[in-house]
Chain A
Amino acid sequence: MERSEVRRLYALALFLLGAYALPFLVGASQGTVHLNERWLGNLATVVVGGLMQGGVYAMFAVGLTLIFGVMRIINAAHGEMVMMGAYLTWVCFFYLGLDPLLSMVLTLPVAFLFGVAVQKLLLNAAVGAPELTGLLITFGLGLVMIYTAELIFTTDFRTIPYAPGTVRLTSTIAVGRNRLVSFVLAVVISMAVFLFLKLTRLGKAVRATALNAEVALVCGINVRRIYLVTTGLAAALAAAGGALVSIQFGFNPETGVVYTLQAFAIIILGGRGHYVGALIGGVMLAVLENLVSLMVPNGTAMVELAAYGLMIAVLLIRPGGLMGVKEG
C-alpha cells in the first residue's frame, strides 16, 4: 500500500471514532447520558440490538455490492426488492399460512427469477453504459414496483407477528426473539453465499468477472450468464432481507427507499464490491444508528442524517472504504 493510502486509512479510522463519539457528546450535553447501571444496561442492549440488525442489513447490502462489483451498476431498486420480499412473506403468512422463515423456500426462488428477468430484459443494456443509464433504469423499475405494490396492497403499514417475547442474553441485556432469529438466519445465509463465492466453480466465475470481465470472457467464462446469476442472487438476498425485516418492523410500499439508501451507505463504508466489507459496514452502520437514536433528540431524522453523513465523509476521505482498493 502506498504511504498516502495508509494515511487515508488512518484518517478514516479517526473519523469513524469521532462519528461514534459524537452521539455520546451530544447525549452528554443534552442530559440523555446517565452513568448509572440502568443506563449502561440500555446502552449494552442498544449495541447488541444494533449488531443483530446490522447482520440483516449486511445481508441485503451484499446483494447491492455483488451487482456493483460485477457490472458497475448501482441498483437503485434494491430497497424495493427488499420490500418485495417482505410482501411475498406477508402473502405467504396470511393467505397460505406459511411460517415466515419456511416461506423463504418459496419466495427466494421467485425473487431469483425476478432478478434474472430484470437482468435479461433491462440491465444487460446498462452494462458498460454511462452510469446514468443503469441508475435511471433501476430507479424507474423501483417506481413501478412501489406503485404496483400500492395498487395491490394499499399504503397501509403491514406487520407480521412472529416469535414474540424477548430472550435474556445476560442479566441486563435482552433482545427480541424475532430479532435474534433474524440475526442467526442472516448469518447463516451470508455464510452460505460467502462459501458459494469462495468454493464453487460458479462462485469463482462470478468473482473472476468482477475482477475483470474481459479476461473472464477470454478464459471461457460465459459472462452474460454470470450477469444473470449475479442479479438473481442479489434479488434473492434482498428478498431474504425483506423476509427478515418483515418480522421485525412494519413496512409499506414506500419503506424500500430507506433500505436502498442504507445499503448504499453500507457498501460505501465497507468498500464497494467487497463482500466482507459489506458485512462490517452493515454492522457499523446499524450500531451507529442505534446509538444516535438512543442519545440524540429528534431521533429518526438524525438517524438518517448519520447514514448520509457517514456515506459522504467516507467517499471523501477514502473512496475505497474500509476494505476496498484505491479507486474512483
Chain B
Amino acid sequence: MTRGEHLRNLALLVVCALVLALLPRGLSLYYRSFLMFTMMYVVLALSWNIISGFTGYTSFGHVAFYGIGAYACAILVADHRWHWLPTLAVGAGIAALVGVALGYPVLRLKGPYFAIAMLGAAEGTRVIATVWDGLTHGGLGISLPSAETSVETYYAMLVLMVVTIAVAYAVGHSRFGVRLNAIREDETAAAALGIDTTVYKLAAFVLSAIFPAVAGGIQTYKVLYIDPPSVFFVQITIAMALMSMLGGKGTVIGPIVGALVLYTAQELTWVNFPTAHLIAYGLFIVLVARFMPRGLVGLAIDQGWIRKGMLH
C-alpha cells in the first residue's frame, strides 16, 4: 500500500472521529448510548481480530478481559473512591498480566483445543468473580455512586475506538502483522523461517486483551452497576467473533463493518420483535457462519466491488 493511501485512510479516520465528537450534543440519550455501544463493539471485534483473525488462534473466551476491566473499574471507584479514569489503566494492566499468565501456557494449544481452553478460562473467571466475596461482593454485584456519566464515557469510548483502530491498522500493515499472518497460515513454517512464534503469539494475545479491558471499564462507569453474569456474558465473546466474521476476519475494516452492521441489526430486531429477537439472532449466527465464512469484505472482493488490499 502506498504512502498516499495510508494518508487517505488516516484522514478518513480523523473525519469520522470529528463527526462522532460533534454528535452527542444534538442527540437524545437513546441515540448517544446506541452510538456508544456500537463504538464499544468496534473496539471488541477489532481486538478479538488481532489474536483470532490475524494470528488464527480462535479465542472463545475473550469476554474474560472485558470482565476484568469492568471489575477493576467498579471495585476501585465504589470501594476505594478512585476517579474513574485511572481505573481504566489499572484494568488494562491487570488484563495484560492475566494475558501473559494465561496466554503463555494456553497458546501452546492449537485450533479447537485453544478455543475450548479459552471458553473454560472465561467461565472460570466468572465463577471466581462470583465466589470471591471479599473483593467482588460476589453474586450481588457492585453499584457505583450514581452520577450523570453518559457524555464523558461517550468521549472516552470514542478515544478508545480511535486508538484501537489506529493500533489494529498499524499492526495489520506492519512486519509484525505479516509475521502474525505467517503463524496463522503455517506455524511450523513460520518458526522455520526464524519467527519466534511464542513471543509473537503472546504479544498479539496481550494486545488483544488490553482494549476489551478498557472498554469494560468505560462501560461500567456508564451503566454504574455490574454483576458476574452481565460482564462475563458468553454472548459478548460470540458477538466479537461473529462481527469479525460477518465483516471479514483477518482484515482491519472487516470487524468495523461487522460491528456496525450487526449491532444496528440487533438493535432493530430487539426493538421490533421483543420476543423472537434472540431466535432471530441465533438464526443469523448460523446463516453467517454457514454461508458467509469470508464475510462482507470477502464477498466484496469476490464480486469485484473493491480491490484486494484497498481498504484493509
Contact = CB atoms under 8 A, between A and B. Distances in A.
Contacts of B293: 129-130, 133
A136 B242 CA distance: 8
B58 A131 contact: yes
B286 A131 contact: no
Contact of A143 (B60, B109, B285, B291): B285
Given A137-B290, A143-B279, A144-B283, A304 B109 contact: no
A147 interface: yes
Nearest to B235: A143
Interface in B106-133: 106, 108-113, 115-117, 119-121, 123-124, 127-128, 130-131
A304 B123 contact: yes
B282 A141 contact: yes
Contact of A136 (B106, B119, B241, B276): B241
B286 A305 contact: no
B120 A133 contact: no
Contact of B105 (A126, A139, A316): A316
Contacts of B287: 140
Given A140-B283, A328-B111, A132 B131 contact: no
Contact of B131 (A74, A261, A305, A328): A305
Contacts of A261: 119-120, 123
Interface in A120-146: 122, 125-126, 129-133, 135-137, 139-146
Interface in B265-294: 275-276, 278-279, 281-291, 293
A314 to B, nearest CB: 10
Contact of B289 (A137, A142, A151): A137
Given A261-B123, A305-B128, A144 B112 contact: no
Interface in B39-75: 52, 56, 58, 60
Q: What's the interface size class on A, roughly?
A: 35 or more
A200 interface: no
Contacts of A308: 120-121, 123-124, 127
B281 A143 contact: yes
Given A74-B115, A140-B286, A319-B109, A301 B281 contact: no
A304 to B, nearest CB: 5
A261 B123 CA distance: 9
B245 interface: yes
B85 interface: no
B238 interface: yes
Q: What's the interface size class on B, roughly?
A: 35 or more
A42 interface: no
Interface of A is mostly: helix
A265 B123 CA distance: 12
A264 B112 CA distance: 11
Nearest to A143: B282
Given A132-B245, A135-B58, A148 B116 contact: no
Contacts of A130: 56, 58, 293
Given A298-B131, A304-B127, A140 B289 contact: yes
Nearest to A118: B286
B245 to A, nearest CB: 7
A265 B111 CA distance: 17
Contacts, number: 133
A305 B287 CA distance: 33
Given A261-B123, A304-B127, A305-B124, A144 B116 contact: no
A191 B198 CA distance: 44
A328 B288 contact: no
Interface string B149-187: 000000000000000000000000000000000000000
Nearest to A145: B282
Contact of B278 (A122, A137, A147, A328): A147
A122 B287 CA distance: 9
Contacts of A312: 106, 117, 120-121, 124
A68 B111 CA distance: 12
B290 A147 contact: no
A88 B290 CA distance: 27
B290 A144 contact: no
Given A304-B123, A315-B113, A122 B58 contact: no
A153 B130 CA distance: 29
A301 B116 CA distance: 19
B116 A264 contact: yes
A145 B241 CA distance: 20
Contacts of A274: none
Contacts of B116: 74, 264, 268, 311, 315
A149 B105 CA distance: 39
Contacts of B285: 136-137, 139-140, 143
Contacts of A68: 112
B287 to A, nearest CB: 8
Interface string A136-176: 11011111111110010000000000000000000000000
A136 B117 contact: no
A140 B238 CA distance: 9
16 contacts: A72-B112, A125-B290, A132-B52, A132-B115, A135-B58, A136-B241, A136-B289, A140-B282, A140-B285, A261-B120, A301-B127, A312-B120, A315-B106, A315-B116, A328-B110, A328-B111
Given A135-B60, A140-B281, A141-B286, 10 more contacts: A74-B112, A131-B111, A132-B289, A135-B58, A135-B115, A257-B234, A261-B123, A312-B106, A315-B117, A328-B111
Nearest 3 A-B pairs (CB), nearest first? A140-B285, A143-B282, A136-B289
